[in-house]
Amino acid sequence: MELYHQLKTQVRKQLKGHFWFLYGWVVLISILCFGIQQLALLCAQPSIQVILRLVLSLLCVIINSFMLFIFILSVRDKKFKGEAVHYAFSKGGNIMFASLLISLVNISIQTTIQILLPIVSLALLCSVFVQFFFVCWYVLLAFMVYDHQVEIKELCLKPLRMMRHHVKTLLLVGGYYVLWNLLLQIAIQYILAPELMNRGVEAILHTQTIASIPLTTIAFVGVLFYLVQFVILVFLHMYLANFYEQQRYQ
């Protein structure tokens, strides 16, 4: 708990006067990555589309790492410079390979959860907690790359060593993230998925409703959800940046 309160105090001080700058970057990078990933839809051939999606996703990993560099710079009270962009792309191979390994582990665990847990609500809860764990893993990995720690083995294992003794602190830090994403998964599982299965996309577009709710209302709620999600991500990334600063030499 002491570590959590230290992080909380530091984050509050650091975000004064800097919150909207960081929030703007999170929104910008998120929209940019979403747009890049949609380029795969331009390809008509399914096999090529899968490969293109993978390539574009890895490109987004590099772009997202550049955004995370801004958070570690903010914690260290350093000004953002163009070198961060160049460095992110120069170490793109290391970031992509380590992220790919982590993603494969994530997919394996998520698949295992879906198979072994027949109770949907319990599976959703476990899935969100696992997703949060992998978000922390990736963010700490990106901070390591910024500090020129680019050996693949260390990139994959050192974040785990940092986290293993502070699980409770990280759960306190990520409480809002877990809760918010759990709400999203519940909405998808119990509202959107049944409608798509029972009525199909064409029927939904024809009636302009999902579960008797107008699509315009759902779109508004979706935009609002992500605007709040970006706020949560700003705080989460700042907490993790401070956590990394305290743990990187231990």
- Residue at 32: amino acid letter: L
Query: Which residues lie closer than 8 Å to 249 by C-beta, 6 or more apart?
Result: none
> For the segment 53-64, what is each residue's pLDDT rounded down to a tens digit?
878 888 888 888
Nearest to 74 by CA among 143, 164, 166: 143
- Is pLDDT above 80 for 224? yes
Q: What one-character DSSP code corresponds to residue 191? A: I
Between 240 and 198, residue with greater pLDDT = 240
Cα 227 versus chain centre, distance:
14
Region of 92 on the Ramachandran plot (φ > 0 left; ψ -120 to 50 alpha; else beta): alpha
- CB 59, CB 36: distance < 8 Å: yes
Q: Report the percent of the chain where pLDDT is more than 90.
A: 28
- CB 191, CB 211: distance < 8 Å: yes
Nearest to 214 by CA among 227, 224, 204: 204
Q: What one-character DSSP code corresponds to residue 76? A: T
Per the prediction, the chain carries an average pLDDT of: 83
> For the segment 32-83, what is each residue's pLDDT rounded down to a tens digit?
988 888 877 777 677 777 778 878 888 888 888 888 989 998 998 887 766 6
- Residue 122 burial (10 A CB sphere; 0-12, 13-18, 19+): exposed
Q: What is the DSSP string of 32-47?
A: HHHHHHHGGGG---HH
Rounded Cα distance between 250 and 247, Å, is 5
- Residue 239 burial (10 A CB sphere; 0-12, 13-18, 19+): buried
> For the segment 147-186, what is each residue's pLDDT rounded down to a tens digit?
888 788 888 889 989 998 899 999 999 999 999 998 888 8
Give the residue-averaged pLDDT of 205-213: 64
Q: Where are the domains of the chain?
A: 2-247
Q: What is the pLDDT of residue 222?
A: 81
pTM of the model: 0.88
Rounded Cα distance between 54 and 72, Å, is 27
Q: Using 50, 70 and 90 to split pLDDT, how confident is the model at 84? A: low
Nearest to 135 by CA among 233, 37, 38: 233
Neighbours of 244 (CB within 10 A): 23
Q: What is the pLDDT of residue 107?
A: 86
Q: What is the pLDDT of residue 93?
A: 76
Q: Rounded to whole angstroms, what are the CA distances from 84 to 59, 65, 80, 89, 245?
A: 16, 10, 7, 9, 18
Rounded Cα distance between 43 and 47, Å, is 9
